[in-house]
Amino acid sequence: MKHLPNKGLSPIGGPLMPQGKQLLNNSLLNKGTAFPDEERDALGLRGLLPPKVFTLEEQCTRVLRNFRRFKEPLEKYIYLSNLQNRNETLFYRIIQDNAEEMIPIIYTPTVGQACLEYGVIYSSPRGVFLSIKDKGRIAEILRHWPMLDVRMIVVTDGERILGLGDLGAHGMGIPVGKLALYTACAGLHPYYTLPITIDVGTDNESLHADPFYIGLKQKRVRGREYDEFIEEFVQAVQEVYPRAMLQWEDFGNANAFHLLQRYRRKICSFNDDIQGTAAVALAGLIASLRETGGTLKEQKILFLGAGEAGTGIADLFTAAAMDEGLTEQEARSRCWFVDSQGLVVKGRPGKLAEHKVPYAHDFKQISSLLQAVEELRPTALIGVSGQARAFTQEIVTKMAAINERPVIFALSNPTSKAECTAEEAYTWTDGRAVFASGSPFPAVTLNGRTYLPGQGNNVYIFPGVGLGALVSESSEVTDGMFLTAARTLASLVGTEDLAVGRIYPALNKIREVSIRIAVAVAEEAYHDRLAQRTQPSDIEKDIRARVFEPVYHDYI
């Protein structure tokens, strides 16, 4: 990968630099009021901008002032989206310098509300919409995107947006947000990114009746027709963007597992809901051992929710426990699941989904989570169910009675879907819980101590994994890379983090975290002979030289 070079010779304009209003309308090249006088004259901007020339720093001060005047998170989201569409360098400088304040706005939890209201707040196109009606024309439509060398595509079909369910075409907020995080958190140049929403309809009847819904008002296409459309899509990506990798995002369970297994070795790709969630949760479990003691292989984990996130975590935990000496069967026996039908066990009435079968153990049928906690006595309770407040006081108190330091992860997004709040987890355990959540919670003060709860969000994993795979030009993103990413993330949790109850690094360190993970993933790619480029003498130096920094370049 290369950056947009200076002197106006860029992949966007080449030697024919856009001028005048065309330049001001190009979000990747626009500097707004920061264009110096000589560029205003040379590029036809004189009179199109107010005469005062502002520095990037002065522009940031203005943006922050306006941003903080808004009271509602969705208003802040809309403001930042408009800024992104106007001036991406300024947008990413603001995000990068104010990560803890901004990331919850451009992604979880605010992006969930943005998706719910996407039809109302939609103002300008960003990304590519591919509908089932475009079958046979996907490659042609991809070529409508103005960037010629896309390297990272985040794609969704909108069926399982966070914990909100089927939002159809309104799910576009997810790919847009994820790719913004790739740039802000890992330094992937926005030129190389493409958000895509696949619209095959929606089974959400409320969207069919919504006059502002932007997608197809029809039932979801499934089965053979769906598979053929996805196959054409993958082939079109390989044809139009042969160096691109795919991140599958927020697909329904059946399609998520199916697509990952079918395409992970046909095109460099991964599923963040399965593999990214697994890595960030495993990193939290590893880091929590510094508070609870013991080894990873000794843990017993009880999951509420047996979908792609939960079984993905269990699969990666199994790999890590096997590295510590357990057999595969022994490692899987440490993972238990409660789904909508109760405890997942062998012999339960009805057919189990394929991804649940490895975790169906010989045990009696149990209908409730509380009873499962009482009977199994887990060391960790992980919520990936999308069921708000499912971790009741009785359940959390029982975990605290069983464990001196109970591990409680309420990972469902957005905040409204979290299985419990940070305040509840700390209060009900008298401050003894090792807590993490998928969306941010405010600080909690209890018994004179202030806790800063850790956010077990995939933002700690996928930007670094993607960057490492892209820079090494890996042909595949392996489970081993996610295990490496988890261990790297856990190693970056400092004593100062643990002292305030946090088992993930502060978000203001996310750029460094992502680069360290990218280095580890690239090393794995070179070691496993998956890299398509020659290994540099210094992998870390090579990666740091390639990351995008949001600063203005000279155009003349």
**CATH code for the domain in which residue 165 is found:** 3.40.50.10380
Classify residue 304 by its DSSP letter.
Answer: E
315 domain residue, yes or no: yes
Domain span at 513? 460-546
Looking at the fold, whether 305 and 393 belong to one and the same domain comes out as yes
Contact 288, 503 (CB under 8 A): yes
Considering only CA atoms, which of 332, 397, 331, 341 is closest in space to residue 365?
A: 341
| pLDDT band per the 50, 70, 90 thresholds, residue 9 | very low
Decide: 493 and 448 in contact? Cβ < 8 Å.
no
CB 218 within 8 A of CB 149: no
Q: Is residue 216 part of a domain?
A: yes
Judgement on whether residues 260 and 385 belong to the same structural domain of the protein? no
Antiparallel, parallel or unpaired: β 449-451 and 380-383? unpaired
- Please check whether residues 446 and 535 belong to one and the same domain: no
The helix (H) or strand (E) run that includes residue 155 is: strand 152-156
Is 294 in the same domain as 322?
Answer: yes
251, part of any domain: yes
**pLDDT above 70 for 12:** no
What positions carry a catalytic annotation? Answer: 107, 178
Q: In 143-246, which residue ranges form alpha helices assigned H by DSSP?
A: 173-186, 205-208, 223-240
Give me the number of domains the chain comprises.
Answer: 3
Which of 427, 456, 485 represents a domain boundary (last residue)?
A: 456
Cβ–Cβ contacts within 10 Å for residue 372, how many?
24
pLDDT (tens digit, 9 = 90+) per residue, 441-451?
999 999 999 99
* pTM attached to this predicted model: 0.94
Residues 218 and 131 in one domain: yes
380 and 465 inside one domain: no
Do the strands 335-339 and 342-343 form a parallel or antiparallel pair, or are they unpaired? Answer: antiparallel
Classify residue 18: in a domain, yes or no.
Answer: no
Stretch 152-179: mean pLDDT, rounded?
A: 97
Query: Residues 381-412: pLDDT tens digits?
Result: 999 999 999 999 999 999 999 999 999 999 99
* Residue 248 parent element (H or E): strand 245-248
Assess contact for 223 and 134: CB atoms under 8 A. no
Query: Which band of pLDDT confidence, cut at 50, 70 and 90, is reported for residue 492?
Result: very high
More confident residue, 53 or 4: 53
Is residue 7's pLDDT more than 60?
A: no
Q: Which amino acid is located at 185 in the chain?
A: C
Verify that 150 and 246 share a domain, yes or no: yes
